[in-house]
Every structure is written in C-alpha cells, then in structure tokens.
Structure 1
Amino acid sequence: MERAVIGAAPGGMSVSQAVDGRVSTRAFLDRPVPRALLEDVLRRAARAPSGGNLQPWTARLVDGEEIAALKALMCVRIAELPDGEPMAHPFYPPVLTPAALARRRRNGEILYGALGIDRHDAVARKAWIDENFQFFGAPAGVLLFIGREATPYQWLDLGIYLQTVLLLLREAGLDACPQADWAMYAPTVATFLDAPPDLMLICGIAIGHADPARPENFIRTERDDPLAAFTLR
C-alpha cells in the first residue's frame, strides 16, 4: 500500500511541477511547520541513490526554542568573527571560468536588484548575507553533515539527497532555501548541536512558508542549456 504524503497539496504534484516550482526562498512568514512533517520528509528523502548505498548524509532538524537559540548565538558569533571561521573547503575554485563567473555576477544582479541594494554598497550586502544565519526568518531549519573521510563522490550523493529533500518539501506545500553559507561557521554550529567530531557541516536548509510581500521571493534565476558545451561545437 502506498503511503500518503503528509501535507501534500490536493490533487498531488508531479515531479516536473516540483522541479519547475522550486525556488530559493529568502523571506519567510512567522508560521510554524509541523515537526512530524519535516521528519517525514527527511526520512523519505533517504530513498535518494548513493554509491554503494553508503548513504553518507546526516540531517539535523532545528525548530522551536532550539532554532531561536541558534539564531541568537549566530548574532553574537557574526559580531565576533564577521568573516567567518576557517573552512575545511572553499566555496568556489580559485579561478572561475568566464561562463561561471558571468553566471555568478548575473545571479547577484538579479537578487540585489530585487532587494534594491547597490552593487557597491558593501555594508548592505554584508547585512543581507548575514540573514542566512537567521534562516531568513524561517521557523525551521536543517543542517546537513557528511563524514570527514568522504570523497567527492559522497559529496555527490549528499547533493542528490539535498535535492530530494527540496522537491519533497515543495510537494508538501513548503518553501525552502539551501544555504551553503552555514559552512562559514561550521565549528560554532557543530559545538551548539553537539555534533560528533567525525562529521563535517556542509550546508543548511531554511524551511517554512514564503512571505508573499517580499520581492526577493519573486525572482527567477536563469539557467543555461547543460547540453550546449557538446552540441554547439
């Protein structure tokens, strides 16, 4: 017997609809999300494939008083170390290809344009980035960890798990934002959560209901044709 999806939209949602409708939500309503729903999503997402069935992902859900305490801690930590803590791995390669650099710049133009933040306003841009560590006001968040011994192939598996979580959240009528920025304060977060030392924080996910009054929730980032490099030669 097929299990019913907690909180699923009436009539269901196709995979195509979930993929096309998924956006990175960066402003949330103060509206709680049932913890049982989120736990169900995180467990069902473990059907994602992984090489050798290693299932290298570990998820930690925070909500209620715990997420409030984490947000308060991060306000203090950001004031102490505004540039973050030493990271195990950089976000980007040391040199981006021209195409990748153009995409990154265009992404910034779209986001900061919607927010009304000038590209030269470093203070406003930093304040906006720091909203990551408030989960953009979301009432719930997930921190994803992986073993420190993991190879790039286990990171690939974690990425598949992350996308599966995002699509299941979309199916359940929830909005979310994957957040790599949490890795900037991995030691602080690991200490707060009492994470095992053999685990490494990779990213977070802000989860809740999008604020329809905020312009950043209406942007649509662009995508290139992934086949172009081979078909346009």
Structure 2
Amino acid sequence: MLAEDFSALARQRYSVRDFRPDPIPDAVLDAILGDAAFSPSWSNTRPYCLAVASGERKDRLKDAYVKAFTEALPLQRKEPAAILRATLLRRWPDADYKTWGRYPDALRERSVKVGKGLYTHLGIAREDRAARDAKAQRHLEFHGAPTVGFVFVHEGLMPFAALDAGLMLQTLFLSATAHGLGSCALGVLTTWRHPVDAEFDVPKDYKLITGFLLGYPSEHPVNAFRAEHPPVEQARPR
C-alpha cells in the first residue's frame, strides 16, 4: 500500500450516525475481525474480548437498551425525586466504568464544541428537550445499524488493556472502511452492563469499556456532519 492510499483510508473513516438495515455478509464481518487480530498489544497479551451481535440478538439488545435508557431519563435530567429513589433502592446504572461524569476542564471545550456542531447541523435547539431526548435515544437504537459490538478489557492489566483495545478497535474500523462499511464508537452503551450479560457469557475479570456499530451508511443528513481533526497535540521540548 502506498502512503497516500493509507492517508486516504484514514481520512475516509468518520463516525456514522445513521445506517441502512442491510445485513453485513458473514464473510465480510469475518474478514474485518481477522484484520483486527493483527493489531499490537502489550506483550501480545490481547487483553480484550469482543461480543458482536446481529439479527435477532441485536434486536433484543436494542430493546433492552432502549428500556434502560427510558427508565433512566429522570436521572439524566437530574430530577431530585429520581436521584433519591435510585439512592434508596440502589438502582443506579450498572456500568463497570462511570460514564456520566463531567469531562476535565481542559477537554470539555472540545466535547462541547462537537456537540454544539452536531445539534446545530441537525437543527435541534438547546431548549428542545423532546428532540434532544429523541436524539439521545437514537444511540440506544444503535442508529439503525445491523451489527453492534461490545469491547471488554481485562481489569488486571489496566490501563494498558484499554490502550490495546483502542488499537484493536481502530484497526477494526479502518478495515471496515476498506470493506465499504461505516463505523461508530458508542461509549454510552457501557452505561448499562446487564443487557450484554443476558446475551453473552463474558469471561471473568473483563469489564465493558465501549460499544461500537458497523453497517452501511444511509443517506440521512446526519452523515454529512464531520468533526474537526486538529493536529495531534505534542509536548514542547524543554
């Protein structure tokens, strides 16, 4: 592969937020997972595990996630009664890693900027709670993707397991792009662990760190949105 070919591939990948329902052929999905196996890892430990679902299993997962999201909406809105009830009954989301915390101040500006850009692109006003909730629920509907995946990391090798999982996932995403598919990382899926445990026997000591989607991009206007890609930040020499 020429250097310019790789650069074109890397720039072609973007976060797809609406998919066609067309299923991914088994041979294509197997090829993508096969490419992901060639990503590097800490001492070749491969400290991660994938759970990938399509068809009826994916539909059951979607229904379970939408149900969990709907039940948690009052919590997300920080309604006092909901917070008190969750505290008394110990019914907080069963995430392995907290997903609702505030971003560090040094990083928050970037998150706010991309969020504002996306919602402006879609014409969703800040005060339009119904539209914002519907957009948020679309994450739990997997944006219509035919295949959803979950990434687990071995808690005994953190934080290096998370690094290795990221390398693997980017390799998987680039392979998907080369095969004509779209992809999207979906961290919000880690807010709830129980839907995945109901469908997969995950090895002991593995924690859910992110989800992802694969499929063929639709023509929905949301897929015209592109986040900014500033240069990689580099530390200045002393």
1:11-90 mapped onto 2 (5 Å cutoff):
14-82=5-73, 83=76, 85-90=93-98
Shift of the 92–153 alpha-carbon distance from structure 1 to 2, 3 Å rule, reads farther
- Tell me the distance in 1 between the aligned counterparts of 2:52 and 2:234: 39
Partner of 1:5: none
Mean Cα deviation higher: 198-207 or 136-145 = 198-207
Residue 94 of structure 1 deviates from its aligned partner by 5.1
- Partners of 1:85 and 1:187 within 8 A in 2: no
Partner of 1:226: 232
Shift of the 90–78 alpha-carbon distance from structure 1 to 2, 3 Å rule, reads closer
Ranges in structure 2 where 5+ consecutive residues have no aligned partner: 77-91
Residue identity in the other structure for 1:59: L
Residue 217 of structure 1 deviates from its aligned partner by 0.3
1:151-230 mapped onto 2 (5 Å cutoff):
151-212=158-219, 214-227=220-233, 229-230=235-236
- Partners of 1:19 and 1:167 within 8 A in 2: yes
TM-score, length of structure 2 as denominator length: 0.83
Residue 88 (structure 2) pairs with residue 97 (structure 1) = no
Q: Deviations over 1:140-183 (max 9, x none)?
A: 11111112323111110110001000000000010111111110
Residue identity in the other structure for 1:165: L
Residue 135 (structure 2) pairs with residue 144 (structure 1) = no
Superposed CA RMSD: 2.2
- Tell me the distance in 2 between the aligned counterparts of 1:173 and 1:222: 22
Shift of the 229–147 alpha-carbon distance from structure 1 to 2, 3 Å rule, reads closer
**Residue 22 of structure 2 aligns to a residue in which SS?**
coil
- Tell me the distance in 1 between the aligned counterparts of 2:221 and 2:235: 34
Residue identity in the other structure for 1:160: L
Mean Cα deviation higher: 176-185 or 89-98 = 89-98
Residue identity in the other structure for 2:157: A
Q: Deviations over 1:80-125 (max 9, x none)?
A: 3334714332348756234x22211110111111211112323322
- Partners of 1:190 and 1:201 within 8 A in 2: no
Q: How many residues end up aligned between the 2 structures?
A: 218
- Tell me the distance in 2 between the aligned counterparts of 1:189 and 1:81: 17
- Partners of 2:152 and 2:207 within 8 A in 1: yes
Shift of the 211–109 alpha-carbon distance from structure 1 to 2, 3 Å rule, reads same
- Tell me the distance in 2 between the aligned counterparts of 1:70 and 1:37: 22
- Partners of 2:96 and 2:208 within 8 A in 1: no
Shift of the 25–110 alpha-carbon distance from structure 1 to 2, 3 Å rule, reads same
Partner of 1:10: none
Shift of the 134–35 alpha-carbon distance from structure 1 to 2, 3 Å rule, reads farther
Residue identity in the other structure for 1:89: Y
